[in-house]
Structure 1
Amino acid sequence: MRHIAMFIASQKGWYSLKRAIEGGYAQKIKLVATFKEIDVEKSYDQEIMALCREYEIPCYLWGEQIKESLLQTLIDLEIDIAFAVSWRFLINTEVNQVIKYGLVVFHDSLLPKYRGFAPTPTAIMCGEDKVGVTAILAADKVDEGDIILQKEIPVGENDYISDVIAKEARICGDMVVEILQKAVDDSITPMKQDHSAATYSIWRNVEDCKIDWNKTSVEIRNMIRAVSSPYPGAYFFYQKRKVIVKSAEIMGEMNFAVRQPGKIWQIVNNCPMVICGEGMLKIIDAEYEDGSKVMFNRLRENLNK
């Protein structure tokens, strides 16, 4: 194997670069591309660039410096394998024609499940007790490439998205090193996906994070876990102000003669207990958009408005 290119972002991309360097591949990495993320609590572009400077690895901002000349650049740099980790931009699959082992794309699911956008939040929302990372060969159709390597990750019922992302980051880094060793040994053997078992995940925006109290307490808590930090967070309105839920707890069911989801049943130690379509949910920690703590001092509020 001659040289490596990495298209990376987020904690996962940063950690993948770090592990490749720790694995002794720094001198073989001839191109790193990154970008500044939006709609997240923290972008890792500065950390990625700093790591590249420390090890004298060429690093570029996507779109500004590398996008238009990518194919020729990969040829000139004699790239044998490229990785895309937490990458959001289209890279034409024609690069597979000039890279010996192709462009290896990391997808945060156990493919063929959850192809598409935001697979990890979707999996948590669906109540999965395991997620995973799959490395595939870049393909023209969404996440349909042949599988190079796949790792499973357990998800506890009290794991929030930040906990799962941290696990995925470590797995991504380990997988990059394992695949690089396979490339050195010339033992990469891609495997076809079972397309008949495919499911899909759609993109999400801030509006999708508004809590619908008509759903069950389990569904609502799963969404809270799925879209919490580093994402914008699940929210509702209390006294006409937006409230972002940081954590919540499922409470025992109560037999309401007339069920009205979204109404507060009681407030204990500043923790409101809210009626759901099925079950009850206790808001443990919540804050306003400016980061200040919410003081729940009015019982007669319908949070479903």
Structure 2
Amino acid sequence: MRVVMFGYQTWGHRTLQALLKSRHDVDLVVTHPASEHAYESIWADSVEDLARSEGIEVYLAKRPDAQLIDRVRAVAPDVMVANNWRTKLPRELFGVPRLGTVNLHDSLLPKFTGFSPVIWSLISGATHTGLTAHLMDDELDTGAVLVQRAVEITPSSTGTSLVYDTLDLVPEVLEAALDGLEHQTLEPVPQNLADRTFFHKRSEQDSLIDWQWPAADIERLVRALSDPYPNAYTYFRGERLRVISSRVSRCIYGGTPGRVFIEEDGGMVVVAGADAHRGQSHGLVLDVVRTDDGVNHAALDFFGRGGGYLTCLP
């Protein structure tokens, strides 16, 4: 089949790699210009560079325009494939191919529609994430599902490990979706949009630790924002402090959320949870923290005997 691909960053790069290894012909690749945005300058394998190295025509765009629509129509693709395209594609574009446009989304739709789904899945306490191939329609990530594969979220999963897990599913899911469309062996399944959850783009504010959260929720936030993501952070005595490694305490600790309290099993306990004053909450044990100079510190060494508070403001 003749394919036009829309993609960006490592997700688009992996998708183009899979297409190049398939029996299909990629006639045009559409991608975004490079960006310095915090969430776009990481996982930054270049779709443009890969396409050009293979002699494939590249169209750079921030969002679709009439010229791009005309170019796609001229190619007359059998199918379009999108992965991590950052703006909405209009019907005048996604409806061009005779078999439609397949979007790859790294969640188990209709859950975690929208942005940064792997990170939000881990933060929220979901038990699984995965990869969905669906037909594109007029709304974001709402089209009928073609193929889904799941990945378990374990107590040791990080945002980084789950991204790799879902990226590894791209060749299998894409091949199954394209073969099913070409040979009419797949029946697209409409999503139950009553079950939809829709998450916004992440910003720096979303990495700020709220010590009113239960310790288990903060611990997941720390794992979700593993390197190379902007780490979960807090403030101590006016300075920003990133939390690199943490765990839920064995013991129950009472008091005021954010209080740097006492040593437990080699780490420093911070009181956490909106009900901590009732003496019914676990604390968060900090093991490794990072100062703004990029240096990692054992939390027990950094805080010493404890005292003071971790806060949401400098």
Tell me the TM-score normalised to structure 2 length. Answer: 0.87
Partners of 2:40 and 2:294 in 1: CA distance: 13
Sort the Cα spacing of 1:229 and 1:180 in 2 relative to 1 into closer, same or farther, 3 A: same
> Residue deviations 1:54-110, cap 9 Å, x none?
32112232239x744122111111211111111211211222432111121222221
Equivalent residue number for residue 47 of structure 2: 48
The more displaced of 204-213 and 173-182 is 173-182
Equivalent residue number for residue 161 of structure 1: 159
Aligned-residue offset at 1:160: 0.4
Aligned-residue offset at 1:192: 1.0
Q: Is 2:177 the counterpart of 1:174? A: no
The more displaced of 193-202 and 261-270 is 261-270
Q: Is 2:25 the counterpart of 1:32? A: no
Equivalent residue number for residue 288 of structure 1: 291
**1:34·1:48 contact (CA, 8 Å) conserved in 2?**
yes
Equivalent residue number for residue 142 of structure 1: 140
Sort the Cα spacing of 1:5 and 1:120 in 2 relative to 1 into closer, same or farther, 3 A: same
Equivalent residue number for residue 236 of structure 1: 234
Sort the Cα spacing of 1:142 and 1:243 in 2 relative to 1 into closer, same or farther, 3 A: same
The more displaced of 151-160 and 237-246 is 237-246
Sort the Cα spacing of 1:215 and 1:30 in 2 relative to 1 into closer, same or farther, 3 A: same
**2:3·2:79 contact (CA, 8 Å) conserved in 1?**
yes
SS at match of 1:252: strand
Residue identity in the other structure for 1:301:
G
The more displaced of 119-128 and 246-255 is 246-255
> Residue deviations 1:104-147, cap 9 Å, x none?
12222211112223322221112112112112211222322111
Equivalent residue number for residue 61 of structure 2: 62
Residue identity in the other structure for 1:293:
N
Aligned-residue offset at 1:228: 2.7
Question: Aligned-pair RMSD on alpha carbons?
Answer: 2.3
Equivalent residue number for residue 115 of structure 2: 117
Q: Is 2:307 the counterpart of 1:300? A: yes
Structure 2: any 5+ residue segments left out of the alignment? 274-280
SS at match of 2:168: helix
SS at match of 2:88: coil
SS at match of 1:265: strand
Equivalent residue number for residue 225 of structure 2: 227
Partners of 1:208 and 1:244 in 2: CA distance: 13
Q: Percent identity?
A: 24
Residue identity in the other structure for 2:272:
C
SS at match of 2:296: coil
Residue identity in the other structure for 1:296:
F
Partners of 2:229 and 2:45 in 1: CA distance: 19
Partners of 2:265 and 2:240 in 1: CA distance: 20
Partners of 1:213 and 1:231 in 2: CA distance: 20
Partners of 1:11 and 1:286 in 2: CA distance: 28
Partners of 2:227 and 2:186 in 1: CA distance: 36
Residue identity in the other structure for 2:145:
I
Q: Where does 1:126-141 land on structure 2 (aligned, <5 Å)? A: 126-141=124-139
Equivalent residue number for residue 262 of structure 1: 258
Tell me the TM-score normalised to structure 1 length. Answer: 0.89
Sort the Cα spacing of 1:268 and 1:217 in 2 relative to 1 into closer, same or farther, 3 A: closer
**1:209·1:235 contact (CA, 8 Å) conserved in 2?**
yes
Equivalent residue number for residue 81 of structure 1: 79
Sort the Cα spacing of 1:253 and 1:268 in 2 relative to 1 into closer, same or farther, 3 A: closer
Equivalent residue number for residue 252 of structure 1: 250
Partners of 1:173 and 1:267 in 2: CA distance: 47
Aligned-residue offset at 1:233: 1.5
Runs of 4+ in 1 over 6 A off after TM superposition: none
Q: Relative contact order (C-alpha < 8 Å, sep 6+): which is higher?
A: 1
> Residue deviations 1:141-168, cap 9 Å, x none?
2322111211111111111000000011
Equivalent residue number for residue 193 of structure 1: 191
Aligned-residue offset at 1:50: 2.6
**2:151·2:166 contact (CA, 8 Å) conserved in 1?**
yes
**1:17·1:173 contact (CA, 8 Å) conserved in 2?**
no
Aligned-residue offset at 1:221: 0.7
Partners of 2:40 and 2:226 in 1: CA distance: 10
Sort the Cα spacing of 1:45 and 1:77 in 2 relative to 1 into closer, same or farther, 3 A: farther
Sort the Cα spacing of 1:290 and 1:101 in 2 relative to 1 into closer, same or farther, 3 A: farther
SS at match of 1:69: helix
